[in-house]
A and B are shown apart, each in its own frame.
Chain A
């Protein structure tokens, strides 16, 4: 029966994350962007929220929550509202842990999952994107070839969050039978961290280029099963993060417009500005609902590829437009780094490009 109300439990989770975002993440965002790093104290403090542990089964030290995509969307929106770089940092271990929780063999789960339910944050990640305009998830340039019972990975990856520190990387590669995912422990010979990236946005998030050259893994490193739901969870999570970033920008611009005066009135009282803000609000709400619908379908175990892709694309367009308009509302002041809107625009622009990077 149609219902737009989250459960009480979901609201509690959302509100807890929202408080943390407001009180801890947001105040740290600008400094993190300028310095290029997320403060370790913040990361460890956030560990108490259980963002990674929640979705890992109790047998491996986690909370055993159902990994509901709807709940994940609610959480991602609040984290994205706080700061996108921080959000992706805090959630990075899910990139390797959650797919293994979903699809892994018991041996794989025993090997990996307990490493992400300890007393402190432990970096884990995934490598999906590739440094080419022809990057295509259906035809990855990174290959996985069977040889003598092992698998050899070859290729280049980029935008790998926490790549140099991650204890495990889930590396996506093209196999003889389509898209595959492989658990690659740190220090595996053939895996080389090339360099820390410098991007327009996500400056506080340590992302890496890495290369795989004759990187040999046992066959048991492959994560078997249908990866489609994993990809859809990622797309949905990105859409939710985008809603958060857009909402942050919209609220800031709205509040600014009510204070800033020109021609005798608050600029929010001028139609050009008021209409811009109203359209931003409509599109944020619309995107949120599309994202929830994709998440809901995932939770029902249905193929949500269409909905997740549509939501992600819609969100990417929306967040660019909203963050751009938010900057516009602040005029010249929006252009300087004293206000956060230019940061949100730099981050917002990335969504059209981002694939992977987050998991729910």
Chain B
């Protein structure tokens, strides 16, 4: 039956993560926003150690580090787990703490998600086992290029077969955790490249490039508006050679684009997670505004007659509704993943709404708090800067609305673009 109560396990975990966010992230939040390219090494090490004992790997597979399934969350209750919902809830808390720091946590990342989704059991072992111990590691995914972002089918990075190797050539930009994955840990970068440009989408494959592979160079780490604690890297591939069995999925160029589709399918899983992160930022802003209003003696009268509502009450109620709407759409998309239901439409709805809602919520929050909201003495202005990217990465607002449009209209990408 319809139910909005988090299970005890998820709620307990959420409180744990919230405490982590409040006690370890908030205190260093401003510092690592200002010192953009420095890493909080001790905190990262601590988060790595914490994740070793948990089932939430902040984006990757759900197995605990000791190989055992997390009973609390992965248990087949009524035949279904709550893994994705648990991730959505925890990631909301981490992002409530600091979205940039959350993204910088050592973890398999989007690259790991791609391996989990499209890799063979052998590849999953080869690339994901490493996250179960040792030093902190990062996985990353490199798709965007200087000439294309949303139009990912237009990528120009090439992968050419040469004997028992693939040779990659091209430039990638905007790769989250790219620096840490490629050069600062024993991680890896999953790179989208084409084996046959003339074949369009069918020629696009995903390749795993291990850390420090010769020919892979981080050329730049971006200066950004927000999420400054997360390294966003440009990576150049020049005659970068990797083993033949580092390709995810089949190397064949077929009509059925399984490699591409398989990796695209990871977005159905990751979009709700990004939406959850956006909601965390939005909630930070709403929570803060609520505290300030309470302190200043401004009461929100939810059931007030329209002509009695103050502008502040109206704005605040709108913020709360938008945020909750985004949260429920996200929970629905995550729940569908847990139920094994196809959720392409719902995931894009959640991402579209969350990206938009959190942008509106944080911008309105800054406005409502006037001189305080604009000041760097408070984290509010930072949250507005952090929020904006959620409407852009992992599928822009417009792309997600486009996907929703195609689904509700029953159109292919050829029919509606």
B335 and A2 contact, CB distance less than 8 A = yes
Known contacts A278-B402, A293-B324: A1-B7 contact under CB 8 Å: yes
Q: Interface size class for chain A?
A: 35 or more
Could you give, for residues 304-347 of chain B, a 1 whenever the CB lies within 8 Å of some chain A CB and a 0 otherwise?
Answer: 11111000000001001100111011011001100000000010
Interface check B415, CB cutoff 8 A: yes
| Cβ-neighbour of B404 out of A10, A269, A278 (below 8 A) | A278
User: What residues of B have a CB within 8 angstroms of the CB of A119 in the complex?
Assistant: none
Once bound together, how far apart are the Cα atoms of A285 and B308, in whole Å? 29
Of chain A, the residue at the smallest CB distance from B6 is A2
Could you give, for residues 140-174 of chain A, a 1 whenever the CB lies within 8 Å of some chain B CB and a 0 otherwise?
Answer: 00000000000000000000000000000000000
Known contacts A286-B353, A310-B302: A2-B409 contact under CB 8 Å: no
Interface check B256, CB cutoff 8 A: no
Distance in angstroms from A284 CB to nearest chain B CB is 10
Distance in angstroms from B65 CB to nearest chain A CB is 26
| Cβ-neighbour of B328 out of A138, A290, A309, A313 (below 8 A) | A290
A138 and B305 contact, CB distance less than 8 A = yes
Could you give, for residues 296-324 of chain A, a 1 whenever the CB lies within 8 Å of some chain B CB and a 0 otherwise?
Answer: 11000000011001110110000000000
Q: Interface size class for chain B?
A: 35 or more
A136 and B305 contact, CB distance less than 8 A = yes
Tell me which of B304, B320, B352, B401 has the highest count of chain A C-beta atoms within 10 A of its own C-beta: B401
Interface check B405, CB cutoff 8 A: yes
Once bound together, how far apart are the Cα atoms of A293 and B331, in whole Å? 12
Is chain A's binding surface mostly helix, strand, loop or mixed? helix
A268 and B411 contact, CB distance less than 8 A = yes
Distance in angstroms from A240 CB to nearest chain B CB is 13
Interface check B34, CB cutoff 8 A: no
A293 and B328 contact, CB distance less than 8 A = yes
User: What residues of A have a CB within 8 angstroms of the CB of B1 in the complex?
Assistant: 3, 5-7, 10, 70
A1 and B402 contact, CB distance less than 8 A = no
Interface check A135, CB cutoff 8 A: yes
| Cβ-neighbour of B405 out of A10, A231, A275, A313 (below 8 A) | A275
Distance in angstroms from A147 CB to nearest chain B CB is 28
Chain B residues 60-102 with CB under 8 Å of chain A are 77-78, 82, 85
User: What residues of B have a CB within 8 angstroms of the CB of A352 in the complex?
Assistant: 306
A275 and B401 contact, CB distance less than 8 A = yes
Interface check A133, CB cutoff 8 A: yes
Of chain B, the residue at the smallest CB distance from A274 is B405
The 7 A-B pairs with the shortest beta carbon distances in the complex, nearest first, are A289-B328, A286-B325, A136-B305, A278-B405, A274-B405, A278-B404, A309-B302
